[in-house]
Structure 1
Amino acid sequence: MKRARLIYNPTSGREEIRRLLPDVLERLDRHGIETSCHATTGEGDATREAAWAVERGYDIIIAAGGDGTLNEVVNGMAGLNTLPPLGVFPMGTTNDFARAMGIPRRWEDYCDLVIENKTRPIDIGRVNGRHFINIAGGGTLTELTYEVPSKLKTLIGQLAYYVKGVEKMVSLSPTQLIIDAEGYDTVEGEFMLFLIANSNSVGGFEKLAPDARIDDGLLDVIAVKKCNLAEFIRLVSLALRGDHLDDPHVAYFKTPRMSVTSPGQVQLNLDGELGGELPGVFEVLPQHLHIFA
């Protein structure tokens, strides 16, 4: 019998995991996967628990929650020896990574993926000693994901991000950045934000990085140059259709490694969570993890 450790955020999404947990455990156990649980209690708890589970030799690690919970679990696993496969139960507000991977929303279907041991290798990103599985970025608008209160996300779901986004857009301002990417000339200028995508689904936009692949050993970089509010809103409408990459206000390229610096203070967003500040050296770890997908 295999042993699995299920690490879940009891407040993710609309707290659905609380109701589903007994059925999930029963289904896995019935198919030879003995599963124990850990409910996270605060920032960093999922990281510590994931590292503990790997060190104790669990055969499977499962993260149940949103992108932030997944990020913490990945940070607990990455860099350790002999990593077990990772399961992802999408229970958050946006579930960008799960959507990019085609992970089913129905818990029964995802349990079956784990039971059938269907895995695939994926890249993960690293910056300044921290890891991200889906997206890294910086700039005023990228701050809204970790500024939205968890209670508000529980009450109104993804609408909470739209409410905060409107507030942020009114005060958008450019930031001076120096971007030095492997294979490209150094770029210096004023940018509204920059995004480093590991998949094609970012912030609820499924076509923001349409050519991004989770296992190609490259990071897709999108940097929005200085523009006014009307131009920025136009870019957002183009991004909904995936038609933004050829716009003159957008710099887009793929690279395995890059550095970003700024004379000002710029916070980093890693999978929707606060990830320190610039300067940052971003790199890809090719096919570093296996996930059930």
Structure 2
Amino acid sequence: MVKKQKRARLIYNPTSGQEIMKKNVAEVLNVLEGFGYETSAFQTTPEKDSAKKEAERAALAGFDLVIAAGGDGTINEVVNGIAPLKKRPKMAIIPTGTTNDYARALKVPRGNPVEAAKLIGKNQLIKMDIGQAYEDTYFINIAAAGSFTELTYSVPSQLKTMFGYLAYLVKGVELLPQVSKVPVRITHDNGVFEGDVSMIFTALTNSVGGFEQIAPDAKLDDGKFTLILVKTANLIEILHLIRLVLDGGKHINDRRVEYIKTSYIEIEPKSDKRMMINLDGEYGGDAPITLKNLKNHITFFANTDEISDDALVWSQEELALEAIAQKFAHEVEELKPEIEE
């Protein structure tokens, strides 16, 4: 019996992280070949949705694994390419961006493409939740709205590339006096919130902008968003909330914050003012909008040895058994043609 070889497609952003990936492609391919994958690479282009289109093509071509190498934006694009499909390949990430929130959540080595690729050999998997914002738009980490969030749009893209979240932070402090509250109606699993907010923040992981305390108890695979509503626009109170975030995530119990776990969110503005939605750090459309949590939608390679048990619903033992079951099912699929003959 000739065993079918697994195939992997590396989709990498050549300009991310001072072109670090470009310098390491050959070695990364060699690592993946060593793990039994017939591996090929695709270099993204400035064309719109370049990574997304290639991810969809690779998935439809039957690749077993798609690796996204770049910043969180590249990972978002690749996810958007495979998330709508019924049969989705496994995913891995090689983080080379500035913030790398998703890599922090999955405990993937940052700034070292070869070490990140080696993680695949551990064969540790997590069925990750993915957010759906519109019929054909998905996000991996955050969805946000409100005047507090809209300040980030004024950060020049060059500064974002060079300084990552630090650029947002500096610009945000500079513009904090302009924060205002807007009236909204938000429907979620537990009921309805109606009132004025300066920020609506929805998280899928506990890592946001390099901080791991904004949604400190977020789970990666429970089918729930962490919804945070900031009910103040007072500068002193906002600065106090920021201090509470840095002090172990104590903001979640503050009276000026609504902290909710929910599988879906409907956001409706209650004024004529435009409300822009930020998806994974980029403009993603306007409210009204419904956000759905797609539970366990894409299987990612991760370093589960370093991920806190509190961040997962599935135990590491269950994940290991699931990996064995998937391998068995894959081998049965490979045997089918021979059985039918």
One fold, TM greater than 0.5?
Answer: yes
Say if 2:9 is the partner of 1:5: yes
Contact 1:11–1:154 (Cα < 8 Å) also in 2: no
Bigger helix share: 2
CA distance in 1, matches of 2:76, 2:163: 23
Q: How does 1:1-293 map to 2 (within 5 A)?
A: 1-42=5-46, 43-105=48-110, 106-129=112-135, 130-143=137-150, 147-184=154-191, 186-241=192-247, 242-262=249-269, 263=271, 264-293=273-302
CA distance in 2, matches of 1:146, 1:88: 26
Deviation at 1:32, TM superposition (A): 2.5
Contact 1:196–1:220 (Cα < 8 Å) also in 2: yes
Deviation at 1:99, TM superposition (A): 0.5
What fraction of aligned residue pairs are identical, expressed as a percent? 46
Name which structure has the greater RCO, CA cutoff 8 Å, separation 6+: 1
Contact 2:9–2:41 (Cα < 8 Å) also in 1: yes
Deviation at 1:203, TM superposition (A): 2.0
Aligned-partner residue type, residue 33 of structure 2: D
State the secondary structure of the residue aligned to 1:244. Answer: helix
Deviation at 1:147, TM superposition (A): 4.8
Where does structure 1 lack aligned partners over 5 or more consecutive residues?
none
Q: Which has the larger radius of gyration?
A: 2
Contact 2:16–2:97 (Cα < 8 Å) also in 1: yes
Deviation at 1:240, TM superposition (A): 1.4
State the secondary structure of the residue aligned to 1:86. Answer: strand
The equivalent of 2:335 in structure 1 is: none
Contact 1:14–1:157 (Cα < 8 Å) also in 2: no
CA distance in 1, matches of 2:237, 2:231: 10
Contact 2:134–2:291 (Cα < 8 Å) also in 1: yes
| Deviation readout 1:34-80 (Å, 9 max, x if unpaired) | 32222222332211111111111111101111111111111111120
TM-score (norm 1): 0.93
Alignment size in residue pairs = 292
Out of 118-127 and 32-41, give the one that drifted further.
Answer: 32-41
Aligned-partner residue type, residue 279 of structure 1: P
Where does structure 2 lack aligned partners over 5 or more consecutive residues?
303-341
Deviation at 1:146, TM superposition (A): 5.5
| Deviation readout 1:159-190 (Å, 9 max, x if unpaired) | 32233223332322222211111222x21111
Aligned-partner residue type, residue 64 of structure 2: D
| RMSD of equivalent CA atoms | 1.8
CA distance in 1, matches of 2:168, 2:122: 36
The equivalent of 2:314 in structure 1 is: none
State the secondary structure of the residue aligned to 1:189. Answer: strand
State the secondary structure of the residue aligned to 2:250. Answer: coil
Contact 1:235–1:244 (Cα < 8 Å) also in 2: yes
Deviation at 1:193, TM superposition (A): 0.7
Bigger strand share: 1
Instruction: Call closer, same or farther: CA 1:183–1:251 in 2, change over 3 Å.
Output: same
